[in-house]
Every structure is written in C-alpha cells, then in structure tokens.
C-alpha cells in the first residue's frame, strides 16, 4: 500500500503517541458526549483506555498475521471511538462506516451495506444496538470470515497495555469519505502522514492548550474524523461530540454546547452556516448565551461562500459572533484533511474580472463590484504541502486550472484499488484533486470542479449512482435520466436537479412520477432532490457517442426549464 513518491519520514505510530501523552495525565478529560436532550457523558483517559483495551482484547481473539479491517458502524458515543481506537491498539485497521439514517428504507440500507462489506472485506463489523436492525446481523456474522462484534458484549479491561508495535510508515486507518455506497473509495492513511498533518494543521490554527472542539460532524467524514476527533486526541484538548441526527433536528444544540462547554473551535460545512442562521429562531433558547469566546468557526468541505458566513455573523452577532472568528479551509481525505487554512482574522474575498475569468480562465483583480466575481480565499497551503495549478509547474499566478498537490501528508493509496490510485496521480507524482482553482499571493482559491461530483450538504455523490436510482423507477424510460448539481447561494450548498424522460403524456401523470422519483432517491440515497423534471421522450441531449451528456443537459435545463417555463413541461 505504498505509493512511489515523497518518502514519509519515520515516525512513531498513532497509538504510541496517544499512549505516551495519556500516561502523563491519565485523568485528563478526553471528551463529552451530549445527547439530543442535553444529557452528558464525560469521559477521562482512564475510562477510555479501559474501554479501548476491552475492544483490543476482543479483536485479538481473531487476529491473524495479516492485519484485518475493523469496520465501525456505531452512533455517536464512547463505544464508537473506543472500538476505533481498540482496533488501532490491536494493530488492526479501523474504519468508520455511516450508520443507517432514520429516513432510509432498511432494505435499501442493508443492500448498500452488504455491497460495502463485499468491497472492503472487514474481519470485524462493530455494530451498535441502534444500527443492528438495519444490517442483517445473521448474514454478516461468519460471512467471508467477518465477525460481528456487539459493543454491549465487550467488557472494559481491568489491565491496560500499550498498543501493539507497528511501523510508522504503514497504513494506520482507512477512511470512507461518505455513505455506504459501493462506489466509495477507501482512503488509506499512514501513521506518519496523520501525525505530520496534525502538527502542521495545529500550527496553522495556532491551537492552544485551552482550546475545546465542539462537533456534530459524522466520524466517517474527514472533517469530523480528523479535525474533531483525531486532532483533539493527539493535541490533548477535549472534544464535545453531538449526534448529526440530533443537530439536524435541533441546530441550536450546537451553539448551546459551544457556550456551555466553552467550545472554542467549530468546523462546519458551508450550508450549515446558512441553515443555522435561517432556522434558529429569535427568542428560542437561553437569552444569555455568549459566543464571544469562540476562536474559530471554520467553513470547509464544500465550496466556501462569503454570503453564508455573512448571514451567520449577522444573525448571531448579538451573541458575540464576529467576522474575525470565521475562517476557511480547503481539505480532503486524500491529504489526511487540510490542504489550506486561513490565518486568524477576517476571511478575504478577492473581486476579479468576470469576463477574463470566464473567457481566458485568468484572474484580473478589480477594486470595484461592477462586472466582478467574488472568490473567498481558503488561505495558504499547510507547511510542506506543495500546490500547483494544472500540470505546468511554471503556471503563472492567477491562472485557473486543476489544483494538484504533493507532499508527505498525501495518502498512501485507495484501499485495495491500485487502479484508482494510479489514475489519481499525474506521471510526475502529483495528486489530481479534480477541483478547479487558482493561486493568488500564495493563497488558494477554489472556483469549481472538473470531476463530475456533487457535494450536497457536505456529502459527496456521484451523478451516475443517482441516475441509476432514478432509472429504477417504473415509468422512467430506461437509460434516460440525468443528475447534476447547481450551486445555490440561498442555501449555501448545491441543489440536486434530476431530469428523466418518460412516455407519460399528461402533466398530472408526470408530476406523480416526479413524486415517485423523489421518494425513491430519498429512501435509497438519503438525499433530497431540489427539482425533479419528468420530460417527454427525446428531450435529453445525447453526445455523439450516444451517451447522455450531463453538461449539455445542464445547459439545456438552464435555457428551457428555469424561470417561468419550469412548471409547464
């Protein structure tokens, strides 16, 4: 699992680093788990270690010379992180998987989960009581050598031991960026890359000993996993974890816990800034809530917009939120997490000439708003990480192209996918992000994507997987559906637009089919389309090779289905 390129310096392992740090202060607070009703479970290092060792002892029963994957499918809480660290302690490879969403049809979740299990072939599946009903435990236990581990059956260890020795250059963890779909790639990260990233990111953030991270982010996503779980552990600062489901139902929970627990750092996808500003109503919650102590709200994991941060600041200024607290980061699992981070202080918006940007893919800064486009700076790259635009290293500042990366915090490869790993790098060893952007005065700006990927509320979707689901709906013409995303400044994320052809003729029949498509996509992918258009046969544009061309259909949609014409089809 090693890639040719920059050698990773010899480093201790994650487990050794944590063990050493924790032995210095075994009673220190690791974190607080807060339920939807506000009930708290506080966990110190001694308690966590007893639980971690319990899981490690459990995994050791089936350990083999070759390391195995321990897939953790648990909800927010102590067992979720103890199972993960227990696998690390036992010298195995932990990975977090998404637990079932309440909206998803259990049968569909079970199918995609089984697909994931086939794909990653875990030796252990740790499934908590809440997730158990959705995963068909009988089929999992024993299938292809996989063992089901129920956290309730794991007892705390009475004797704790240091983690199993490992090579610091070896793969430590595998990260499945989002969802359970079989299309997801597992990003393999070495101990050395994670520890190096941690040092550099903590320095870029100017992380302090009295910092405290509050998060509702899922741990199967890089932002939750690295910034809100591994980094606080390694830096010995406490975290406060809330469940993503609880936050979505009650977004004020996050702000209350930032105030109550003295939270100083909070990472959020762009849409969350808008969602909280829009949905947390005046007069609800505690009037003396103060957030003036917060050091950073970091906007990350989908394109950062100035409008989203402005709305957040305007809405919560009475509680002490300021623009100077807001920052941005460009990050991805393939570089452990952060590529860039803005320095403390207000975020910078660069106004550029729109026609030079669109016609020449070139950045010409303007000092006025007329004819200007605004891009938010994501800050300079972390130390040791090189960023270039396009394949030409001499590409001038302000030239727009694909963002490519190189450095010791890059990933080791996609787990068991040497084909995808090879395709992700250029011939001269740079990682191709598939994002478009430019460099200006040493800072990275992201302008779009060259790869066909949708990022909806911080979650990644491939258009092909959505289209395949649309085509399963009875009444949609086989092979005739297109999915794409449109950036939506109002919600701060992308809107999912679905176009499907059908032989149905009346407007009423088509709208009923649109409703069926919505339901099918929601129940299979846990994703809500913003618009579904059922169209007459031959409406969708095909490329010369006979494939449905997403860009051409997107353009046709913008011409013909927006504005007054949209409900008439």
Partner 1 sequence: MFDETSLKNMICDLFLDGDREFPLGADTALLQEGICDSMGLVRLAAALEAAAPGLRIDDQDITHDHFGSIRQMLAFLAGRA
Phi-psi region of 499 (alpha: psi -120 to 50; beta: other; left: phi over 0): beta
Dist. CA 331–CA 302, nearest whole Å: 9
Burial class (CB in 10 A: 0-12, 13-18, 19+), 244: buried
Binding mask 480-509 for partner 1 (x = CB under 8 A): ---------------------------xx-
425: which residues sit within 8 A by CB, 6+ positions away?
Answer: 3, 5, 431, 432
Does 567 bind partner 1 (CB under 8 A)? Our answer is yes
Give the span between the Cα atoms of 300 and 326, in whole angstroms: 11
Q: How far is the CB of 552 from partner 1 (least distance, A)?
A: 22
Q: Which residue of 103, 107, 293, 441 would you call a contact of partner 1, by CB under 8 A?
A: 103
Interacting span for partner 1 (CB under 8 A) from 43-51, 87-95, 277-285, 403-411 = 277-285
CA–CA–CA angle 122, 126, 129 (5° rounding): 145
Rank residues 32 and 517 by Cβ distance to partner 1 and give the closer one.
517
- State which residue, 100 or 529, has the beta carbon closest to partner 1: 529
From the list 219, 276, 278, the residue with the least C-alpha distance to 97 is: 219
> For 208, how many CA atoms within 13 A lie in the half-sphere containing its CB?
10
Least separation in angstroms between residue 557's CB and partner 1 is 13
Q: Interface with partner 1 by CB under 8 A: which range of 137-145, 245-253, 260-268, 300-308?
A: 245-253
Q: Which is nearer to partner 1, 67 or 512 (CB)?
A: 512
Rank residues 42 and 566 by Cβ distance to partner 1 and give the closer one. 566
Q: Which is nearer to partner 1, 267 or 375 (CB)?
A: 267
Rounded least distance, CB 297 to partner 1, Å? 18
Minimum Å gap between C-beta 17 and partner 1 is 37
| Sole binder of partner 1 in the list 176, 185, 200, 250 (CB under 8 A) | 250
- Shortest spacing between CB 302 and partner 1, in angstroms: 15
Q: With CB under 8 A, what is the number of residues at the site for partner 1? A: 35
Q: Does 283 bind partner 1 (CB under 8 A)?
A: yes
Q: SS3 of 418, please?
A: helix
Residue 381, beta-bridge partner list? 340
Binding mask 53-92 for partner 1 (x = CB under 8 A): ----------------------------------------
User: Segment 444-473, which members bind partner 1 (CB under 8 A)?
Assistant: 457
CA pair distance 22, 211, nearest whole angstrom: 17
CB 473, min distance to partner 1, A: 11
Residue 401 near residue 426, CB atoms below 8 Å: no
Determine which residue in the list 44, 136, 139, 245 makes contact with partner 1, applying CB under 8 A.
Answer: 245
What would the x/- binding string for partner 1 be over residues 507 to 536, using CB under 8 A? xx--xx-xx-xxxxxxx--x-xxxx-----
Q: How far is the CB of 227 from partner 1 (least distance, A)?
A: 21
Residue 278 touches partner 1, criterion: CB under 8 A:
yes
DSSP E strands, 270-396: 296-299, 326-328, 349-353, 372-376, 386-389
How far apart CA 195 and CA 186 sit, in angstroms, is 19
Q: Which residue, 177 or 524, is less far from partner 1 as judged by CB?
A: 524
Residue 368 contacts partner 1 per CB under 8 A: no
248 by Cβ neighbours in 10 Å (0-12 / 13-18 / 19+) ranks as: middle
SS (H, E, C) 514-561: HHHHHHHHHHHHCCCCCEEEEECCCCCCECCCCCECHHHHHHHHHHHC
Binding residues vs partner 1 (CB under 8 A): 102-103, 245, 248-252, 275, 278-279, 281, 283-284, 457, 507-508, 511-512, 514-515, 517-523, 526, 528-531, 566-567
């Amino acid at each position: 699992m090693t890639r040719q390129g920059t050698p990773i310096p010899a480093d201790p392992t994650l487990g050794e680093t944590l063990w050493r740090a924790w032995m210095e202060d075994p009673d220190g607070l690791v974190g607080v788990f807060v339920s939807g009703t506000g009930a708290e479970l506080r966990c110190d290092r001694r308690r966590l270690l007893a639980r971690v060792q319990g899981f490690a002892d459990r995994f050791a029963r089936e350990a083999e010379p070759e390391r195995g994957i321990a897939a953790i499918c648990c909800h927010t809480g102590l067992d979720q992180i103890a199972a993960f660290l227990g696998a690390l302690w036992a010298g195995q490879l932990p990975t977090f998987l998404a637990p079932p969403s309440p909206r998803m049809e259990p049968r569909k979740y079970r199918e995609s989960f089984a697909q994931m299990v086939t794909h990653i072939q875990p030796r252990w599946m740790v499934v908590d009581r809440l997730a158990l009903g959705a995963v068909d435990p009988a089929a999992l236990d024993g299938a292809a050598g996989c063992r089901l581990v129920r956290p309730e059956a794991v007892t705390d260890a009475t004797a704790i031991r240091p983690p199993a020795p490992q090579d610091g250059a070896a793969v430590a963890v595998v990260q499945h960026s989002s969802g359970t779909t079989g299309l997801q790639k597992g990003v393999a990260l070495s101990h050395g890359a994670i520890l190096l990233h941690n040092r550099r990111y903590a320095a870029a953030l100017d992380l302090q000993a009295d910092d405290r991270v509050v998060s509702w982010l899922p741990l199967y996503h890089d932002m939750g996993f690295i910034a809100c779980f591994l980094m606080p552990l390694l830096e010995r600062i406490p975290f406060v974890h809330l469940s993503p489901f609880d936050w979505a139902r009650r977004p004020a929970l996050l702000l209350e816990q930032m105030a109550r627990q003295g939270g100083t750092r909070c990472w959020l996808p762009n849409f969350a800034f808008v969602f909280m500003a829009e949905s947390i109503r005046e007069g609800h919650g505690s009037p003396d809530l103060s957030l003036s102590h917060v050091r950073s709200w970091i906007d990350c994991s989908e394109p950062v917009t100035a409008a989203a941060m402005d709305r957040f600041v305007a809405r919560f200024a009475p509680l002490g939120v300021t623009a100077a607290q807001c920052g941005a980061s460009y990050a991805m699992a393939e570089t452990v997490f952060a590529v860039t981070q803005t320095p403390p202080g207000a975020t910078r918006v660069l106004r550029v000439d729109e026609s030079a940007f669109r016609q020449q893919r070139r950045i010409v800064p303007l000092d006025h708003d007329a004819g200007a486009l605004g891009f938010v700076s994501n800050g300079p790259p972390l130390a040791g990480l090189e960023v270039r635009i396009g394949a030409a290293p001499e590409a001038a500042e302000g030239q727009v192209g694909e963002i490519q990366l190189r450095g010791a915090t890059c990933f080791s490869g996609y787990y068991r996918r040497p084909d995808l790993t090879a395709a992700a790098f250029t011939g001269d060893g740079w990682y191709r992000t598939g994002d478009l952007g430019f460099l200006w005065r040493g800072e990275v700006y992201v302008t779009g994507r060259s790869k066909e990927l949708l990022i909806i509320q911080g979650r990644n979707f491939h258009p092909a997987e959505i289209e395949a689901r649309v085509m399963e709906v009875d009444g949609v013409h086989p092979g005739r559906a297109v999915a794409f995303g449109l950036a939506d400044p109002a919600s701060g994320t992308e809107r999912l637009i679905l176009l499907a052809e059908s032989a149905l003729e009346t407007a009423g029949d088509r709208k009923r089919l649109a409703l069926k498509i919505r339901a099918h996509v929601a129940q299979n992918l846990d994703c809500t389309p913003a618009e579904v258009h059922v169209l007459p046969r031959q409406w969708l544009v095909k490329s010369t090779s006979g494939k449905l061309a997403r860009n051409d259909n997107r353009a046709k949609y913008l011409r013909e289905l927006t504005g007054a014409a949209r409900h008439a089809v």
